[in-house]
Homo-oligomer: A and B are copies of this chain.
Amino acid sequence: MNKEKIEKPENKCELQKILDIIGGKWSMSIIYALIPEKRRFKELERIIPGISTRMLVKELKNMEENGIVTRTAFATVPPTVEYNLTAKGKKLDPIINDLYQWGLEYIN
């Protein structure tokens, strides 16, 4: 095995940073759910099977801080919160679709 060929660790660190943001168990499912349109919190909770309220709150907060989703609160009774993908988040659409196609071809 040729040791010269091993890439420098910096590359791996970059990928780790990316995966810390969108590589979680739930973040890609949330992005996927937001691709067709913006959604209310309750809606996301309903259409992402298996996610807990706490985890959805946590993931959305993380994604908002990383500029992947925007959060808009409406002063309704009860209060409504709507999430939408940013331009940066929308750029993940084809990647998640490719991943999905890969899965359709190779899983099951």
Q: Which residues of A contact B (CB under 8 A)?
A: 1, 5-7, 9, 12-25, 28-29, 32-33, 36-37, 39-40, 43, 47-50, 66-67, 88, 91-92, 94-96, 98-100, 102-108
Q: How many copies does the complex hold?
A: 2
Contacts of A50 in B (CB 8 A): 16
Q: A47-B6, A103-B17 are in contact. Are A25 and B24 (CB under 8 A)?
A: yes
Chain A residues touching B, majority SS: helix
Contact A107 B47 (CB under 8 A): no
Contacts of A15 in B (CB 8 A): 28-29, 32, 96, 99-100, 103
Identify A106's interface contact among B5, B24, B91, CB under 8 A. Answer: B91
Contact A37 B103 (CB under 8 A): no
Contact B39 A1 (CB under 8 A): yes
Contact A36 B1 (CB under 8 A): no
Contact B7 A29 (CB under 8 A): no
